[in-house]
């Protein structure tokens, strides 16, 4: 499992050469979509795009247009302490569920996962977990506050910087409801997932208690407003992305609906 470090010049390196090569094999240049990314130096050999890293976080994108999300991650006293407790309950439920579909040593990706609590917990259980977000703030929280050992990547869910067919489980929760074009994102998640393996998406449930919250004209934290999904609506989204539906369930006191899909074997 790769362990990413950074030297004083800002060059990234990975302890153990085999892990280094392994990691390079996983990456795809978001610029030219070629599989020619090297980590030392960190660039694409095909199109010569240079990438960077910050404190061990691999950066394929820089912060831009992330102000909505930075606002989301700015902490509000008391409110956020309560939210942390609720978030922990939800993420523990999710981790237990996902653990049924992934073994130690296998690879998971949580794109748009914010601080990626679930990835941190999966990593603790021996899974090679990769956490990705567009914004740097949640990744820094993951690193500094959660002490997450997951591999942290700053990248775009709509142009995932990983090659096709490599993850055993690709998942996120409370993410896809914020996008006007979730199907495009879901197709990207399916692309990086191994044939025969799993994609899981969790979103707010239309017929759950969270819908009452949606009746409010404006929310405490604007970034939380997003589409709610019925079970059928979410299943259709996964089916439209070419996934076979394996399971669906509500979780977190019926506030969320999750659907597990499988990528068809070629
Ligand atoms: C509601 S948060 C996820 C919360 C997380 N599941 C949790 O339990 O705390 C949604 C995340 O999506 C990220 N995001 C928004 N657009 C993105 C994109 N195009 N690619 C990757 N991440 C994105 C935001 O930065 C934000 O951290
Ligand atoms: Zn390139």
Most informative mutation of 71, 114, 121 for ligand 1 (most atoms within 8 A of CB) = 114
Give the pLDDT confidence score for residue 71 in this predicted structure.
62
Whether 134 lines ligand 1, by a CB cut-off of 6 Å, is yes
Whether 251 lines ligand 1, by a CB cut-off of 6 Å, is no
* Closest atom of ligand 1 to CA, residue 224: 1
Could you tell me the mean pLDDT of each successive run of 10 residues in the chain, 266 residues long? 58 57 94 95 96 92 69 67 82 96 96 95 95 93 92 96 97 95 98 98 90 58 70 98 98 94 92
Most informative mutation of 133, 136, 152, 157 for ligand 1 (most atoms within 8 A of CB) = 133
Tell me the C-alpha distance between 110 and 120, whole Å. 10
Tell me the C-alpha distance between 258 and 238, whole Å. 11
Whether 112 lines ligand 1, by a CB cut-off of 6 Å, is yes
Give the pLDDT confidence score for residue 264 in this predicted structure.
95
Whether 225 lines ligand 1, by a CB cut-off of 6 Å, is no
Q: Where are the domains of the chain?
A: 4-53, 67-263
Class assignment of domain 67-263? Answer: alpha beta
Most informative mutation of 67, 69, 90 for ligand 1 (most atoms within 8 A of CB) = 69
């Amino acid at each position: 499992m790769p362990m990413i470090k950074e030297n004083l010049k800002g060059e990234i390196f990975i302890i153990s050469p085999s892990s280094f090569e392994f990691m390079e094999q996983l990456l795809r240049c978001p610029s030219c979509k070629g599989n020619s990314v090297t980590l030392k130096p960190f660039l694409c050999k095909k199109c010569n795009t240079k990438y960077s890293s910050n404190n061990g976080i691999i950066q394929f994108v820089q912060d831009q247009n992330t102000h909505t999300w930075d606002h989301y991650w700015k902490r509000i006293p008391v409110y956020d302490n309560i939210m942390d407790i609720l978030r922990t309950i939800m993420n523990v439920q999710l981790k237990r569920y996902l653990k049924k579909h992934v073994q130690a040593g296998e690879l998971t990706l949580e794109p748009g996962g914010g601080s990626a609590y679930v990835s941190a917990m999966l990593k603790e259980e021996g899974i090679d977990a990769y956490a990705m977000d567009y914004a740097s703030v949640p990744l820094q929280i993951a690193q500094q506050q959660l002490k997450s050992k997951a591999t942290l990547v700053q990248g775009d869910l709509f142009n995932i910087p990983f090659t096709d067919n490599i993850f055993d489980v690709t998942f996120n929760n409370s993410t896809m409801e914020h996008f006007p074009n979730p199907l495009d994102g879901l197709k990207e998640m399916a692309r990086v997932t191994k044939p025969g393996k799993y994609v899981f998406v969790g979103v707010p449930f239309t017929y759950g208690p969270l819908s009452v919250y949606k009746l409010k004209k404006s929310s405490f934290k604007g970034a939380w407003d997003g589409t709610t999904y019925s079970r059928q609506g979410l299943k259709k989204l996964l089916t439209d992305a070419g996934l076979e539906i394996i399971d669906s369930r509500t979780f977190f006191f019926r506030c969320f609906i999750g659907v597990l899909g499988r990528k068809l074997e070629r």
